[in-house]
Amino acid sequence: MTIEYPSSSWRDYELIDSGNFEKLERYGRYVIIRPEQRAPWERTLSEEEWLGRAHTKFAPGAGLGKAGKEDSGSWDMLRKMDKQWMISYPDVGFDLRLKLTSFKHIGVFPEQAPNWDYIHNSVKEIVLSSAVETPLRVLNLFAYTGAASLAARKAGAQVTHLDSVRQVVTWARGNMEASGLDNIRWIIEDALLFVKREARRGNTYHGIILDPPAYGYGPDGKRWKLDESIYEMLLNIASILAPERSFMLLNLYSNGYSPVMAETLVRCAFGKNYRSLDCGELVLKDSFGKALPMSIFARLKR
């Protein structure tokens, strides 16, 4: 199993401290406090030090513990800060606009930085091999605000970015423009329905990225539940991933999944039709050395 962390050279992100089911993070020039169920240990810094450094703290609302609403709440402003601000990811070369949302998210998941590197390097590897005569196509499913899409586009891929939420797709388009990139294809649709249709049409992609939530709804109200749909999704993805010179990246946040389970899912869905498969965890480490596990990944190459 592989354990990966964001590079220490990324100056626009820092996990300062973690503990008591919260994390203290710096994004660019602003420091925020958010709930973090994966951090049950004690903090290293005192409560006064946390509040003295932070610009804002997320306060969970009445939805805490309710499926689909457990991340809802509001932000308590501790110091003056902008409603929106930019950060950069220079290792690949793109910019992201951040803002405070009512669901504790701010527009980026920093632990995903190693996956952005993997996507960028995988696309470049295929491009440099000159083994692909047709345009190199990458499909990003459950694509959120588009960091993975930008990594693929920066490396030269033709990218299809799919998410079920129109406002999030608009946010991602703004990130593309802020990064000086263009020509990403935007789709607002249910991810599984789209993949099934692509399979029927015989369309293929050289790269497929999927970072599904534990639950959610498509634009037409169709329910997505990870446990019920992930294997069907992977079976369909196996049929639209190009048979050679291609890659697939699966990222999972659900606490019920492990790298071993992700590996078994992918092996069963793809059979023996791949060259390599690497599984592991993405982890954040605070400035005092405490490791905070965030998600698991499976990376397959054909």
Which helix (H) or strand (E) segment holds residue 223: the answer is strand 223-225
Instruction: Calculate mean pLDDT across residues 35-40.
Output: 96
- In 3D space, the residue among 93, 20, 28, 87 whose CA is nearest the CA of residue 55 turns out to be 28
pLDDT interval class at 259 (50, 70, 90): very high
pTM confidence score: 0.93
Span 222-246, pLDDT tens digits: 776 787 889 999 999 999 999 999 9
CA separation for the pair 2, 151 (Å, rounded): 21
Domains of the chain, first to last: 2-99 (2.60.40.1180), 110-301 (3.40.50.150)
State residue 70's pLDDT score. 59
CA separation for the pair 260, 242 (Å, rounded): 25
pLDDT interval class at 66 (50, 70, 90): low
Residue whose pair of structure tokens reads 């958010």 in the numeric block: 34
Q: In this model, does residue 65 exceed pLDDT 60?
A: no
Span 159-176, pLDDT tens digits: 999 999 999 999 999 999
Q: How many CB atoms sit inside 10 A of residue 99's CB?
A: 13
Q: In this model, does residue 278 exceed pLDDT 70?
A: yes
Span 125-148, pLDDT tens digits: 998 887 666 789 999 999 999 999
State residue 21's pLDDT score. 97
CA separation for the pair 236, 166 (Å, rounded): 24
CA separation for the pair 301, 245 (Å, rounded): 7
Q: Helix crossing, 226-240 with 259-270: angle to 10°?
A: 40
State residue 90's pLDDT score. 97
